[in-house]
Structure 1
């Protein structure tokens, strides 16, 4: 029963956060500097998640093959390659390096 109450509380909290943006948009003015900072913070958070996933496996270094694949995928995405090409190229680079014995 406690789990169901916890789930309900989290669901209500999530809904409240999601509805607060449109409901308060007309009442609160966010300065342009804060909006710019929030945009930069979102990008930094995304880079941190990608770096953590690319460089670590469990509690240790993931090896060189995975980061190389992520770099290839990042460069192709930056060059605006189609998503399928980005994913396949990143996976292929990682697989080929592992096949060659690179950890």
Structure 2
């Protein structure tokens, strides 16, 4: 499959999903289960992206400086540090560990 075919198929799927939002009856969207899922979905997607970016390289699982940065970020969040401080601490931790040779 060429890149352009993949882009066109993904575009068609995205358009169909947008269109489905207008076609689905309001009673389905107002369902408590649907509301719960749509409320939690962004957090679940973000968590999956963080896990993939932290613990994978290509098709391999790895444990490297990114994981240590994530641990430092979690500790900073538990200590109620401001968000920018959390990001800087995680980045500095990963950078220092990579500088020390732990890839």
User: Which residue of the partner structure matches residue 82 of structure 2?
Assistant: 81
Q: Secondary structure at the match of 2:28?
A: coil
Query: Which structure 2 residues correspond to residues 1-16 of structure 1 after superposition, within 5 A?
Result: 7-16=7-16
In the TM superposition, residue 85 of structure 1 has moved relative to its aligned partner by: 3.2
Compared with structure 1, are the counterparts of its residues 45 and 98 closer, same or farther at alpha carbon in structure 2 (3 Å cutoff)? same
Name stretches of at least 5 consecutive residues in structure 1 with no aligned partner. Answer: none
Matching of residues 90-101 of structure 1 within 5 Å: 90-101=90-101
Instruction: Please state whether the residue corresponding to 1:28 is helix, strand or coil.
Output: helix
CA RMSD, 1 decimal: 3.4
SS at the partner of 2:26?
coil
1:50 is the counterpart of 2:50: yes
Aligned residue pair count: 100
TM-score normalised by structure 1 residue count: 0.60
Structure 2, unaligned stretches of length 5 or more?
none
